Structure 1
């Protein structure tokens, strides 16, 4: 059980595997009132940067769950680097089946709602680990503008327009599921650039070092099309944010 090798290569130098930044996680942590002693669960935690930053800056403890052995290794190294390893545990497992035995103050899935089959299933999964009155964090894309054609849809890594909602539609979905939206921090074009453009740099470095690898042709084709697809489609049309929810 692990991530595909191509994903690990593409994002091997990323600390954050979403269009977010350390500064935005700082804004989010302050906005939701994190305090020393609070507990956080992060499903599909990637390299664990959110947990590591919040343990350092807010004194929380927590658990991160992910299927990637490589990124979990980075998470553990980062926890040592920030001197928070005694407060964090990183678990190699399928996040889609993980429920904490002791309910937590904050349960998060930031940018990986496929683990629950979409927003509704992921919210239900997170709630199973949440203490009464606790806070959910859901990271999810949304349409900034209505995609005019199928090329735009596919350029935003979707198969159909219905794969994402617009922002009002996403907020309505949270309400209809029985949750109040109490905070949100949204990606901007700069944070999108830092996430996506860094992949191109890494892919080009990898191609230069591994021209004969079995994945070289796939990555060469990706680098030929990805920058133009990004500036033409994803950057103007697709939004992304982390939404803080409390059960009504």
Structure 2
């Protein structure tokens, strides 16, 4: 791990997953169709993970783009995926801090799917994305929301929220976009099955890694996670926490 990187546990947990959020292949493809991507459109994907959004949309829609991610392992995986899909001449992946990245040219679409921590929340992330956007361009932001009001602090903590106010419910989130001066023009939401696929894939990755690395310094920490997370998911996150990607145009 370099000075600018994610902890090793992230790489272990995500394993061979290509989409590092509660979307599946079908939902990612649906999103690409729904926002009516045009051939040659330019995209900046901040916190691009393993590059599945950029690589599959370059293949399916003929877009070009740049992905920026702090993880050296994820960036390497994204470059390999671009080569695998034959789109390495249309997309590139940069190891760096997405919060401070400045593109060489403004883009048609700026995305941050599942990492609004780079701006300290939705409003700050929208400001970061807008700096990269050409006039009339579109923003994509992926963010959690409360599907059901958490009844107690135990539920809030079980959903990995620092407080009840960290997330809004869906009407509150849509209202926040408006308060920030954006029109919501499309959305694709995760469902309980896609949450299950993402969460359960972590458990299998963790178990296989633990079986292969019983003496590793991370074994104790990741053993606790595997013991606790399935119950946390079915008791709290699955019913209370939603997640979606929202397409916005500046008013």
Partner of 1:42: 45
Alpha-carbon deviation of 1:176? 0.4
Pairs within 5 Å for 1:1-248: 1-248=4-251
Alpha-carbon deviation of 1:12? 2.3
1-structure distance, mates of 2:56, 2:158? 32
The runs of 5 or more residues in structure 1 that have no matched partner are: none
2-structure distance, mates of 1:241, 1:61? 23
Alpha-carbon deviation of 1:99? 2.1
**Residues 47-94 of structure 1: CA deviation (Å, up to 9, x unaligned):** 000000100000000000001000011000000110000001100110
- TM-score where L is the length of structure 2: 0.98
1-structure distance, mates of 2:221, 2:93? 32
2-structure distance, mates of 1:54, 1:180? 23
1-structure distance, mates of 2:19, 2:144? 16
Alpha-carbon deviation of 1:211? 0.5
Alpha-carbon deviation of 1:194? 1.1
Retained in 2: the 8 A contact 1:101–1:129?
Answer: no
Alpha-carbon deviation of 1:21? 1.1
Secondary structure (helix, strand or coil) at the match of 1:131 reads strand
1-structure distance, mates of 2:134, 2:88? 24
Runs (4 or more) in structure 1 with deviation over 2 Å come to none
1-structure distance, mates of 2:189, 2:234? 19
Matched positions, count: 248
2-structure distance, mates of 1:160, 1:67? 26
Alpha-carbon deviation of 1:134? 0.5
**Residues 97-133 of structure 1: CA deviation (Å, up to 9, x unaligned):** 0121211110000000001111111000000010100
